[in-house]
Amino acid sequence: MATVLVVEDDPFVRSALIRHLAETGHAVRSVGTALEALREVAQVGCDLVILDLGLPDLDGSEVLKMIRGLTNVPVIVCTARDDEAEIIRLLNDGADDYLVKPFSGEHLTARMTAVLRRLGGGTAPAPQVLRVGGLAIDVQRREAALDGRALDLTRREFDLLAFLAGRPGVVVPRREILAEVWRQTYGGDQTIDVHLSWLRRKLGETASNPRYLHTVRGVGVRLEAPSEAVADPVGRRA
């Protein structure tokens, strides 16, 4: 379980969050001001921050930027603001996820689990090298190869390929791809299609004749090994 810092000035909300997190097995610390939050992050540390935006001494969006100047600890923003432009700005400023108030304890737990899993905070370490057919993806080194040949991928292409390779054979919804790879919750279909097109080109395939990347119309994308593919027998990395 994680050590969680709750930054919330409303004592009733704070108590409810502490109670729920403790009941689910997390170690919890809580503060009610931006200054206390920054002190805790800098001097004590934690595994995850739950950050309210409406703090009495400083707006939470500014606290988020300051936290990002100190550490890469995952931050879930809790806000009553549901404006799309505001949410996009928070994600671009470094939030790993957000929840719009009111929300249930179960919803919070699910978001926390997803963030910690994505950033390596789960109980079981993710494999360093993902293999799907002839694809070998070294997550730690951020290198990828196809049949032993290094792939020249952009940062986003690598993120997309690694994300899909972590779920081989599974149709991943576009909304999930957008949330996990781009950290966005709205729009983005055209962006996903463009990056898939670039990836297909580098994998030597096309949308009409796919080998690894299969689009399921109206649902999402599936990455799986072609039946004739053979994995690299010596486990070479790019």
pLDDT digits (tens, 9 = 90+) for 34-81: 999 998 888 888 889 999 988 999 988 899 999 988 888 899 998 887
Q: Which of 89, 62, 163 is nearest to 98 (CA)?
A: 89
Whether the predicted model's global pTM rises above the 0.85 cut: no
CATH number of the domain at 3-118, please? Answer: 3.40.50.2300
pLDDT tens track for 147-164? 999 999 998 899 899 888
Q: For the chain, which residues make up each domain, given as ranges?
A: 3-118, 129-223
CA atoms of 88 and 61, how far apart (whole Å): 12
pLDDT tens track for 165-201? 887 888 888 888 887 787 676 666 788 889 999 999 9
Between 13 and 150, where is the model more confident? 150
pLDDT at site 42: 86
Please say whether the structural domain 129-223 has been given the CATH code 1.10.10.10: yes
When mean pLDDT is compared over 100-104, 112-116, 133-137, the highest value belongs to: 133-137
216 pLDDT exceeds 50? Answer: yes
Same topology, domains 3-118 and 129-223? Answer is no
CA atoms of 189 and 173, how far apart (whole Å): 11
What is the phi/psi pair of residue 42, to 5°? -75, -40
